[in-house]
């Protein structure tokens, strides 16, 4: 039988990472977020900060052109995607878990018993949250949110050919600004 996995895609600042960690804690299963970055960095040999940034840029952007191998069609972004794909697949095979981001919803679509969630919230809630929780500057958090979401959407679209954030691509979408972080955790826990 396939392992039960919760994948969480999220808008920047919506609390998706926090929700994922809390759900995993309540279910006593591992949560892979930063840990996934560490695994990809270790296997690829790239610095973790590079892996994190490259995971939010669709190939053809600045990072790819700056670091691609002599203009070949196969570049660092594709190399990292293949490693990421393999690691996420392996984690799902090892046992039940929560995986935050990294296109896990797409990667595991036919490989695991997945509950695919998308966490979103209005711009005001997310802007306030990234200032309070992440220490972002108060000058223009809305612009930072738009940029991060745009990059995530482009990366997701490039590798999956599906629209990031569109309800029909997930089993459930939750508005964390409206419902609250704890209610989102309880809903996902109960659906598990």
The pLDDT confidence band at residue 81, using thresholds 50, 70 and 90, is very high
What's the chain's average pLDDT?
89
What mean pLDDT do residues 25-38 have? 95
pLDDT score for 2: 62
pLDDT in tens, 141-187: 899 899 999 999 999 999 999 999 999 999 999 999 999 999 999 99
Is the whole-model pTM more than 0.75?
yes
DSSP state at residue 28: T
DSSP E strand stretches across the chain: 4-10, 31-32, 97-100, 113-120, 172-175
**Domain regions of the chain by residue span:** 4-191
> Can you tell me whether residue 178 is helix, strand or coil?
helix
Q: Distance (Å, rounded) from C-alpha 80 to C-alpha 41?
A: 9
pLDDT in tens, 51-78: 988 877 777 644 444 444 444 566 888 9
CATH number among 3.40.718.10, 3.40.50.300, 3.40.50.970, 3.40.1080.10, domain 4-191? 3.40.50.300
C-alpha torsion angle, residues 114, 43, 40, 70 (rounded to 10): -120
């Amino acid at each position: 039988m396939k392992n039960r996995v919760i994948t969480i895609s999220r808008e920047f600042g919506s609390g998706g990472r926090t929700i994922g960690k809390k759900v995993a804690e309540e279910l006593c299963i591992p949560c892979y977020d930063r840990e996934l970055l560490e695994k990809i960095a270790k296997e690829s040999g790239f610095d973790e900060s590079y892996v994190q940034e490259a995971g939010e840029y669709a190939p053809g952007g600045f990072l790819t052109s700056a670091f691609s191998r002599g203009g070949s069609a196969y570049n660092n972004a594709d190399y990292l995607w293949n490693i990421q794909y393999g690691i996420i697949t392996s984690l799902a095979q090892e046992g039940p878990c929560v995986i935050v981001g990294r296109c896990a919803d797409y990667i595991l679509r036919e490989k695991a018993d997945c509950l695919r969630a998308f966490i979103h919230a209005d711009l005001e809630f997310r802007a306030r949250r990234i200032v309070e929780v992440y220490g972002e500057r108060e000058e223009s958090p809305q612009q930072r949110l738009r940029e991060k979401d745009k990059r995530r959407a482009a990366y997701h679209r490039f590798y999956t050919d599906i629209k990031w954030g569109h309800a029909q691509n997930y089993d459930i979408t939750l508005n964390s600004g409206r419902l609250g972080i704890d209610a989102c955790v309880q809903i996902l826990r109960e659906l598990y």
